Structures are given as C-alpha cells and as structure tokens.
C-alpha cells in the first residue's frame, strides 16, 4: 500500500476513495481498522471512521489506531479526510486529530484544504465558499451536530489546534507547484504548522498535489487528493464494475438543502414514506414496520427523516440532541438489517450519520470502489450480492436516488 487515508465519516471516506480510484489508484475502503493485513494489490487504503462528532479524545485514539495499521501496510504518505464544508465546532475534532497525526508523523507544512470545486466548494483568501457565497451564508452551515458558522478557516481552526495556522494565497497556487512549495516553506519558517491553502479550480488541486509529493501528511476534503495519485505514477482510467440486480431501498436521514430537494423530487415519482423522529423515539414506528413497507413497494422506495433544520431543532429541544440522533441512527441501522434480510440487494443512503449507521448495522467491513454516480459519490460493492451508495448530505443532483439505482444496476 502506498497512500494511507483516514476519513472521519463513511460518506466522506467513499468520496475520497472515489477520487483516488478515478485517478488510477487501486483503492479499497475499510470500515474501521481491519483486523488483518490488506490485499497486497491495494495501492490506496481508506480507513473510514465514525469520528466526526464524537469526543475529541476518542476521535484522536481511533485515528492513531488507523494510522498505525496503515503504517504497517507500508504506506509512505497519509491523508486525513474531513468534510468539504469543514463541519466542526470550535471544540471540534478536526484540529485535535490533525495535531495528533502531525506529531505522530513529525509532519510540518501540513496542508489544510477542504476545497472541492466539482461540488462548488472553494477556498479563497483563507475563506470557504459554496458556489458564489461564503459558507456561512449558504445554508450548509446549519449541520445539526457539527455546525460550521465562520467561513474563515484560519479563525475556525485556531481554537481547535495547539499550533499556529498559516495561509498560502491563491496567487501562489496559480503560479504552480514550485510556488506552492516555496509558500509552504515560508509559512513553516514563520512558525506555522497547519497551513490553509487556497484552491478554486481542479487545476489548483493538481498543483497542490504535485507540491505535496514529499509531505508525509495532507489534510482536507477529497478534492485536494486529486493530484496525489500522479505522484505514485498512477494514471486515470475507467473503474471496473459489475452491477447488481434485485431489489432496491433508499434511506435518507440528511437534513441538508440538497438532500431535501432530492427527497422531494423522488417522493413525487416513487413510493416514499416520512419517518417522524418523535414516532421513532416514542415507539409509534418500528424499524420492522418501516422495512416491511419498503419491501412491499415497487421501484426504489424511500424512507426519509430529512426535515427542515427548524423541525430538527424542535425535536432536539424536546428529546435532547444525543437521544434524537441515536434513536434515528439506530432506527436506520435496524431498517437496513431488516430490508437486507428481506432480500434487498441495492441500498442507497443519504447523510453521513445515516450512512454510518447503515454500514455499521450491516457490518460492512470492506467496500470495493466502483464508478462515480455524482461528484463525490461512487458505487460501492459490499458483497457478492450487495451494492451500496453512501451520499454525503450536500452532494448529488436532484435525481440522485434514481441515478444511483441505475449505476448500481449497470
């Protein structure tokens, strides 16, 4: 294995694996730290953790365990993947995990770059944008567990890390890899260890990748990994895939603007049933009943708890944030197990927490990367007769659920 990656959730990890596979690396995604060694043919290993919103000390411990395993597989470079909207809080896990990995690898000039132009995320003057607006004005800042309300990455990261945060401006990035290397070195000499790097185009990401050839650690969204496979002499090509027939079920727990639009589009054309959080928490709706409903439908039935952020806040105020989240995650994990037992062979999920619950509920250890469904979302083979798609809440076109099912079958 050449490139070792640690993702802080399951959808983000598949997003990263998708980027690496498209760029020619033989990539496998692992759920948690594997017990044994990897297949020696794997060039990039992505260890997917569910660590974005847990206690920082626990997130650090899990990440260091993943690092130890990846080192044992022979990796020479490492990547810490977090959300392209930098989902976190001032007490969040991005800084503590980045610090721990930095120290374990004795890394300096550590790139911080959540840019992903393919999905509208860019970094300019150290600020995170979504399309043409600052993240804080985009609607994506309202994550129910990890809201990110300040678009200044330096200011948002500073209280999370023990190290000074630097910046490589767009002018240096536009000038190419050598200029980026020089700017990183200058920030290092100025005492900066984590360095936010601007990027607004895929060309910028490829230049950053070239500049990072000899760096032990890179952090960011999947976009900044775009230029890394070339450093290992890999070339982009078609990703092999064999589709899966059978029955499909879609499960959505994301409350993002993008997912709510996808749910509305799908519900107008396919069987769809809303999962009301209070009904789950108070026992009026069981996972068995929901799964039975889904398996009785034709096409791609959708079970969704995707609600407006105001509704989510009301539920959290009534039942508590942790209780609400745990109840819905447990519900979707149970539904996934039930529909799988009932014969479902294609399972499509939306939302990081929902996807993580489904992956854990089905005990999916290893995911082989297939073709891209939408930017950042690949088809994944989880077994001889099971394929899945794990979508981050903010990703995907309006017809995502339909498109995902077509690709999973193809």
User: Which of 232, 267, 297 represents a domain boundary (last residue)?
Assistant: 232
CB distance 28 to 46 below 8 Å: yes
User: Which of 232, 259, 288 represents a domain boundary (last residue)?
Assistant: 232
State the alpha helices, DSSP H only, in 105-240: 153-157, 170-174, 177-189, 202-211
Burial classification of residue 223, based on how many CB atoms lie within 10 Å of its CB (0-12 exposed, 13-18 middle, 19 or more buried): buried
CB distance 271 to 407 below 8 Å: no
Q: How many CB atoms lie within 10 A of CB 91?
A: 11
What is the 8-class DSSP label of residue 224? G
The closest alpha carbon to 232, from 23, 81, 372, belongs to 23
φ, ψ at 358 (rounded to 5°): -65, -45
Instruction: Say if 37 falls within a structural domain.
Output: yes
3-state helix, strand, coil in the chain (%, to 5): 40, 25, 35
> Could you tell me where the beta strands, DSSP code E, fall in 189-245?
192-197, 217-220
Q: Are residues 264 and 398 in the same domain?
A: yes
Instruction: Say if 215 falls within a structural domain.
Output: yes
We report the CATH number of the domain holding residue 282 as 3.40.980.20
410 residues of the chain, pLDDT tens digit each: 999 999 999 999 999 999 999 999 999 999 999 999 999 999 999 999 999 888 999 999 999 999 999 999 999 999 999 988 887 767 789 999 999 999 999 999 999 999 999 889 999 999 999 888 998 886 756 666 666 778 899 999 999 999 999 999 999 999 999 999 999 999 999 999 999 999 999 999 999 999 999 999 999 999 999 999 999 999 988 888 999 999 999 999 988 889 999 999 999 999 999 999 999 999 999 999 999 999 999 999 999 998 787 887 888 889 998 888 899 999 999 999 999 999 999 999 999 889 999 999 999 999 999 999 999 999 999 999 999 999 988 899 999 999 999 999 98
Instruction: Say if 242 falls within a structural domain.
Output: no
256 Cβ contact list (under 8 Å, min separation 6): 140, 143, 306, 351, 393, 394
* Residues 148-195 pLDDT 10s: 778 899 999 999 999 999 999 999 999 999 999 999 999 999 999 999
Question: How many structural domains compose the chain?
Answer: 2
Torsion 218-220-225-227 (CA) sign: negative
Q: Are residues 155 and 274 in the same domain?
A: no
* Residues 271-283 pLDDT 10s: 999 999 999 999 9
Instruction: In whole angstroms, give the CA distance from residue 313 to residue 66.
Output: 34
Task: List the structure tokens of 53.
Answer: 């919103």
Instruction: In whole angstroms, give the CA distance from residue 339 to residue 51.
Output: 26
We report the CATH number of the domain holding residue 207 as 3.40.50.10840
Task: List the structure tokens of 42.
Answer: 């794997």
Instruction: In whole angstroms, give the CA distance from residue 145 to residue 54.
Output: 10
Instruction: Say if 160 falls within a structural domain.
Output: yes
Overall pTM surpassing 0.85 (yes/no): yes
Instruction: Say if 299 falls within a structural domain.
Output: yes
Q: Are residues 69 and 120 in the same domain?
A: yes
Provide the CB-side half-sphere exposure for 183 (13 A, CA): 25
Under DSSP, is residue 75 helix (H, G, I), strand (E, B) or coil?
coil
Instruction: Say if 239 falls within a structural domain.
Output: no
φ, ψ at 94 (rounded to 5°): -60, -50
Quote the domain boundaries for residue 15: 3-232
User: Which of 189, 205, 232 represents a domain boundary (last residue)?
Assistant: 232
């Amino acid at each position: 294995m050449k490139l070792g990656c640690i993702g802080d959730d399951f959808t983000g990890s598949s997003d990263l694996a998708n980027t690496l596979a498209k760029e020619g690396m033989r990539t496998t995604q692992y759920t948690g730290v594997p017990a044994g060694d990897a297949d020696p043919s794997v060039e990039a290993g992505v260890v997917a953790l569910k660590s974005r919103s847990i206690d920082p000390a626990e997130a650090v411990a899990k990440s260091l365990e993943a690092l130890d395993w990846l080192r044992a597989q022979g990796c020479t470079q490492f990547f810490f993947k977090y959300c392209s909207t930098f989902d976190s809080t001032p007490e969040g896990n991005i800084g503590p995990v980045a610090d721990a990995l930095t120290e374990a690898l004795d890394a300096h000039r550590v790139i911080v770059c959540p840019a992903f132009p393919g999905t509208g995320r860019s970094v300019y003057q150290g600020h995170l944008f979504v399309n043409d607006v600052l993240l804080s004005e985009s609607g994506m800042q309202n994550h129910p567990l990890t809201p990110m309300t300040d678009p200044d990455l330096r200011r948002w990261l500073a209280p999370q890390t023990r190290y000074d945060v630097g910046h490589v401006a767009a002018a240096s990035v536009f000038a190419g890899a050598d200029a980026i290397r020089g700017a990183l070195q200058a920030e290092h000499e100025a005492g900066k260890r984590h360095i936010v790097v601007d990027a607004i185009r895929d060309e910028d990401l490829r230049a950053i990748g070239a500049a990072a050839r000899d760096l032990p650690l890179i952090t960011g969204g999947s976009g900044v990994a775009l230029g890394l496979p070339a450093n290992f002499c890999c070339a982009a090509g078609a990703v092999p895939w064999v589709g899966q027939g059978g029955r499909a079920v879609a499960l959505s727990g994301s409350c993002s603007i993008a997912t709510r639009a996808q749910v509305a589009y799908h519900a107008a054309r396919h069987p769809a049933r809303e999962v009301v959080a209070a009904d789950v928490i108070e026992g009026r709706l069981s996972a068995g009943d929901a799964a039975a409903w889904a398996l009785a439908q034709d096409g791609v039935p959708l079970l969704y708890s995707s609600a407006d952020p105001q509704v989510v806040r009301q539920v959290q105020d009534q039942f508590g944030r942790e209780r609400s989240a745990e109840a819905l995650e447990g519900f979707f994990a149970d539904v996934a197990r039930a529909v799988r037992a009932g014969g479902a062979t294609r399972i499509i999920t939306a939302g990081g927490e929902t996807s993580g619950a489904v992956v854990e509920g089905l005990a999916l250890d290893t995911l082989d990367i297939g073709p891209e469904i939408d930017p950042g979302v690949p088809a994944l083979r989880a077994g001889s007769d099971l394929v899945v798609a794990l979508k981050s809440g903010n990703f995907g076109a309006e017809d995502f659920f339909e498109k995902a099912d077509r690709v999973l079958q193809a």
